[in-house]
């Protein structure tokens, strides 16, 4: 059973990561950029001439791995789901370099024995050369088998409310059948996304796409529809994962603009299921 008094505030991972231009290109390809290979705006993320790093790459830089699986945390890890993810960009990410990452548990919320517990963590990504803060990443996991430990029951940030009107923009983007196998090369080797037997044991018909990769496709939609492929304008993004998305499906992102804020959700076109909900992004003016 979780000991929230022991976990909250604990540094669960600290690492230094060196990445190359090739890694930056791989990340963009693994999240679907370059599906129109002769489109100049997309080439800036997948071709070394004039290369730019994507804001969402902050999710995988100095990635701590599935640390909840470690036995010292006493979590029923096979029942853990990825619930929410957010990032803030403080300085543009270099296309290559060395960064440090520190991941700390920031909160644990007990939902009861039959509902599990939310485990919230924060990762700070810093430039190893000067210590400057590049990005902050917030992650929330739902440990479905670990509630009922008499821990705190809140507070928890309210869900983003989407406008009650037709979306201002709609962007549909494809995913590849092998997308999850590509994305694993960015550091998340959870077998749920590669092994059909593991996926079936988890209740899925086949391997699902990583939540962070699905989020990155929606981030592509925001950069395409709202930023004219000027990725540096996307300063922050927040989303809840509401259903699995399968490699090979088409992601339809619906966007509502309100000044420098974009609200969004995303559905699988083929199944008509909302896979990302309660989304918000901060977009700088031109």
Closest C-alpha among 38, 37, 20, 17 to residue 29:
37
Over residues 204-260, the pLDDT tens digits come to 999 999 999 999 999 999 999 999 999 999 999 999 999 999 999 999 999 999 999
pLDDT digits (tens, 9 = 90+) for 79-121: 889 999 999 999 999 999 999 999 999 999 999 999 999 999 9
Please determine, for residue 3, whether its predicted confidence score (pLDDT) is greater than 80: no
Residue 212 and residue 233: Cα distance in Å, rounded?
A: 20
DSSP characters over 185-229:
GGT---GGGT-HHHHHHTT-SSPPPPHHHHHHHHHHHHHHHHSTT
Residue 1 has pLDDT above 70, yes or no: no
Q: 234 and 212 in contact (C-beta within 8 Å)?
A: no
- Report the pLDDT value the prediction gives residue 202, as an integer from 0 to 100: 83
pLDDT tens column, 263-273: 999 999 999 99
The DSSP bridge partners found for residue 118 are 109, 142
Sign of CA dihedral 175, 209, 179, 284: positive
Question: CA-CA distance, 231 to 237, in Å (whole number)?
Answer: 12
Which residues are paired to 18 by β-bridges?
A: 98
Alpha helices by DSSP H, listed for the chain, are 4-7, 21-30, 40-46, 179-183, 196-201, 211-226
The tokens describing 101, both together, are: 């990452």
Residue 78 pLDDT grade (very low, low, confident, very high; cuts 50, 70, 90): confident
Tell me which residues are annotated as active site.
188, 193
- The residues facing 17 across adjacent strands are 99
Q: What is the pLDDT of residues 139-195, one digit of tens each?
A: 999 999 999 998 999 888 899 999 999 999 999 999 999 999 999 999 999 899 999
Structural domains of the chain sorted by starting position, each given as residue range(s) with its CATH number in brackets:
4-143 (3.10.129.10), 169-283 (3.10.129.10)
**Beta strands 11-19 and 273-283, pairing class:** unpaired
Handedness of CA 70, 73, 76, 80 (dihedral sign): negative
Preceding amide of 129 cis, omega within 30: no
What is the C-alpha to C-alpha distance for residues 247 and 251, in angstroms, rounded to an integer? Answer: 10
């Amino acid at each position: 059973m979780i000991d929230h008094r022991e976990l909250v505030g604990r540094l669960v991972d600290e690492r230094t990561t060196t990445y190359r231009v090739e890694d930056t290109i791989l990340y963009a390809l693994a999240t679907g950029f370059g599906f129109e290979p002769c489109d100049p705006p997309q080439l800036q993320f997948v071709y070394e001439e004039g290369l730019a790093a994507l804001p969402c790459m902050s999710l995988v830089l100095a990635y701590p791995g599935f640390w909840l699986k470690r036995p010292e945390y006493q979590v029923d890890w096979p029942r853990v789901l990825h619930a929410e993810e957010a990032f803030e960009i403080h300085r543009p990410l270099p296309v290559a370099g060395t960064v440090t990452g520190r991941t700390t548990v920031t909160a644990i919320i007990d939902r009861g024995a039959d509902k599990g517990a939310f485990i919230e963590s924060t990762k700070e990504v810093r430039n190893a050369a000067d210590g400057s803060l590049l990005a902050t990443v917030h992650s929330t996991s739902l440990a479905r088998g670990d509630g009922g430990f008499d821990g705190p029951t809140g507070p928890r940030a309210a869900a983003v409310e989407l406008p009650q009107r037709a979306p201002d923009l709609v962007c549909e983007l494809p995913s590849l059948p092998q997308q999850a196998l590509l994305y694993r090369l960015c550091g998340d080797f959870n077998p749920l996304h590669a092994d059909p037997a593991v996926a079936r044991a988890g209740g899925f018909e086949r391997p699902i796409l990583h939540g962070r990769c699905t989020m990155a496709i929606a981030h592509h939609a925001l950069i395409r529809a709202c930023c004219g492929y000027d990725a540096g304008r996307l300063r922050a993004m927040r989303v809840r994962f509401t259903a699995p998305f399968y490699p090979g499906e088409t992601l339809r992102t619906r966007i509502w603009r309100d000044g420098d804020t974009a609200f969004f959700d995303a559905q699988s076109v083929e199944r008509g299921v909302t896979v990302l909900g309660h989304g918000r992004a901060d977009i700088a003016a031109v």
